Amino acid sequence: MLSGKRILLIIGGGIAAYKCLDLIRRLRERGAKVTPVMTQAASEFVTPLSVSALAGEKVYSDIFDLTDEAEMGHIQLSRVADLVLVAPATADLMAKMAQGLASDLATTLLLATDTPVMIAPAMNVRMWEHAATQRNLAMLRGDDVAVVGPNDGDMACGEFGPGRMAEPLEIVDEVIAALGDKPLKGKRIVVTSGPTHEPIDPVRYIANRSSGAQGTAIAAALVSLGAEVVFVTGPADAAPPHGVELVQVETAVEMRAAVLAALPTDAAVFAAAVADWRVVGASQSKIKKKAGALPTLEFAENPDILAEVSQLIDGRPDLVVGFAAETDDVLENATAKRKRKACDWIVANDVSPATGIMGGSENAVTLISEAGAEVWPRMGKDAVARQLAARISEVLV
Ligand code: C5P
């Protein structure tokens, strides 16, 4: 899977550095050649001897080592790889990367490299959540650095929360996704996401509780499998993913126009929570409050984008996926919805308040297709997105 791929592994100084020994083994098992670089702090946590023994390569650590420079200059070392992987990426390393500091061999290589960079952050939960780290993370993402993890869980310091380094096999999967063949390369997919806002007047609107998290995660997962994604989003809380063609809309009518303009596509994923109704004749000026006089709103039905695209005679995408957020009789309603709208798949979920799904970070879905209903275990919205993207890639061949 990774045969012939060269990975420059930069090991930062954190307790998670011990996982690097396993990571090296897993990468090599899949055929990758791993060249290790350790920061000075990293060698306080694992010994260069262990790292070197597992990598089958010498460990680079000192920028002023004349022997190394004579063998291979640091600029050359930064460019020999197909991927530079930083694991664990400590808060300090992330800050230096974001600022472009080159204070030791690891940071110099990161500044000098012209190959893709991936980081696996690991740190205490407070350090991860600190505004400075989140700022640095956003900058790194903006610089096209791929990020894997961190995961939630118990930490070596006794606290609990996000900050644990992703497990070696999760990192390996991301490395394969980054370096292996991308199954959705050349495929164009439109994804809708978020709520719509239907104006009553210039300051008031009708909306719903969709955060856009699931749609955003799906678009990101499709991009990472190589798809060209047109991301049509209503006013969502979730920041749009990187690497998409972004179309921001406000109303259902605008969303429909944007989706039709994006066609033809190979697939369409309708994750938006589109308002069912809009206000007829929304006022151009603010409706004044008058004592004792309640305004009456007249509604019109919004276009059903999913049904319309599913029933296109010309230019129907090969795969149309709809969502069904239900609070009662989820399976029955979602199965009927698939038929009624004529889409290929329905991703059904129970959004009754007790599930905490609407606006939360997890989802429990059932995938309904011609073949029947497939219940997926409850998992993070990112994991649902990755699985759905993988399934989409299986049918879009
Ligand atoms: O009918 P319901 O709103 O429950 O259907 C949900 C599915 O239909 C979602 O995939 C949603 O994105 C899509 N939809 C749409 N246009 C609408 C209403 C829903 O595309 N006007």
Residue 275 has pLDDT above 80, yes or no: yes
Q: What is the mean pLDDT of the chain?
A: 93
Sign of the Cα pseudo-torsion (48, 53, 55, 59, in order): positive
Range from 79-88, 246-255, 352-361, 378-387 carrying the lowest mean pLDDT:
352-361
State which ligand 1 atom lies nearest to the alpha carbon of 346. 10
CATH number assigned to the domain comprising residue 157: 3.40.50.1950
Q: Which protein residue's CA is at the shortest distance from atom 21 of ligand 1?
A: 304
Residues 168 and 206 in one domain: no
Residue type, 385: A
Place of tokens 């275990």: 377
| 208 located within any domain | yes
Burial of 241 from C-beta contacts in 10 A (0-12 / 13-18 / 19+): buried
Is a pLDDT exceeding 70 seen at residue 193? Answer: yes
Q: What is the DSSP letter of 143?
A: T
Q: Is the pLDDT of residue 119 over 70?
A: yes
Q: Are residues 192 and 209 in the same domain?
A: yes
Asked if 42 contacts 24 with a C-beta cutoff of 8 angstroms, the reply is: no
- 80 in helix, strand or coil? coil
Claim to verify: residue 238 and residue 262 sit in the same structural domain: yes
Evaluate: CB of 324 within 6 angstroms of ligand 1: yes
Least-confidence region, from 19-23, 275-279, 353-357: 353-357
- In this structure, the answer to whether residues 216 and 292 fall within a common structural domain is yes
Residue 368 maps to a domain: yes
- d(CA 389, CA 364) in angstroms, rounded, equals 16
What is the mean predicted confidence (pLDDT) over 189-200?
Answer: 98
Catalytic site residue from 156, 157, 239, 297: 157
CATH classification at residue 271: 3.40.50.10300
User: Given CA atoms 169, 16, 147, 38 in this order, what sign does their dihedral have?
Assistant: negative
pLDDT of residue 154: 76
Among the candidates 117, 149, 179, a domain finishes at: 179
For residue 113, the model assigns a pLDDT of 93
Percent of the chain with pLDDT strictly greater than 90: 77
What number of other Cβ atoms are within 10 A of residue 167's Cβ? Answer: 17
Instruction: Write down how long the chain is.
Output: 397
**305 CA from centroid of ligand 1 (Å):** 7
157 is catalytic: yes
Calculate mean pLDDT across residues 275-283.
96
Rounded to an integer, the average pLDDT of 345-364 is 85
What is residue 201's DSSP assignment?
S
How far away, in angstroms, is 23 Cα from ligand 1 center?
43
CB contact at 8 A, 237 and 252: no
Do 267 and 369 share a domain, yes or no?
yes
Confidence of residue 363 (pLDDT cuts 50, 70, 90): confident
Q: What is the pLDDT of residue 66?
A: 63
- Last residue within a domain, chosen from 179, 204, 220: 179
d(CA 31, CA 3): 4
Q: With a 6 A CB cut-off, is 192 part of the ligand 1 pocket?
A: yes
pLDDT at 216: 96
Q: CA–CA separation, 79 vs 119, rounded Å?
A: 17
How far does the centroid of ligand 1 lie from the alpha carbon of residue 203, in Å?
A: 25
Arithmetic mean of pLDDT, 73-84: 87
Q: Are residues 225 and 172 in the same domain?
A: no
- Same structural domain for residues 165 and 192? no
Q: Within a domain: residue 1?
A: no
**Residue 379 falls inside a structural domain:** yes
Please indicate, yes or no, whether residues 130 and 192 belong to a single structural domain of this protein: no
DSSP, collapsed to helix, strand or coil, labels residue 96 as: helix
Q: What pTM does this model have?
A: 0.67
What pLDDT shows up at residue 153? 77
Sign of CA dihedral 18, 19, 23, 26: positive
CB of 302 shorter than 6 A to ligand 1: yes
Residue 99's pLDDT is 98
CB 247 within 8 A of CB 230: yes
Structure confidence by residue, pLDDT tens digits, 146-180: 999 998 877 777 778 889 999 998 899 899 888 87
Is the pLDDT at 25 greater than 80? The verdict is: yes
Same domain? 175 vs 241: no
Tell me what pLDDT residue 253 has: 98
In a domain, 38, yes or no: yes
Closest atom of ligand 1 to 259 CA is 20
The answer to whether residue 36 is domain-embedded is: yes
What are the tens digits of pLDDT across the range 202-260?
999 999 989 999 999 999 999 988 999 999 999 999 999 988 999 999 999 999 999 99
DSSP, res 123: -
User: Which position has the token pair 């890639």?
Assistant: 393
What is d(CA 26, CA 3) in angstroms, rounded to the nearest whole number? 12
Smallest Cα–Cα separation from 148: which of 122, 123, 128, 126?
122
Q: Domain of 381?
A: 188-396
Residue 291, helix vs strand vs coil? coil
Are residues 160 and 230 located together in one domain of the fold? no
Task: Report the distance separating Cα 92 and Cα 306, nearest Å.
Answer: 46
- Which residue bears the tokens 């029955």? 332
Same domain, 34 and 72: yes
Any domain includes 105 = yes
Which residue has a Cα nearest atom 5 of ligand 1?
A: 324
Q: How many structural domains does the chain have?
A: 2
Same domain membership, residue 259 and residue 154: no
* Domain end marker among 137, 154, 179: 179
- 174 touches ligand 1 (CB under 6 Å): no
Q: How far apart are CA 311 and CA 234, in angstroms?
A: 23
| Residue 365 located in a structural domain | yes
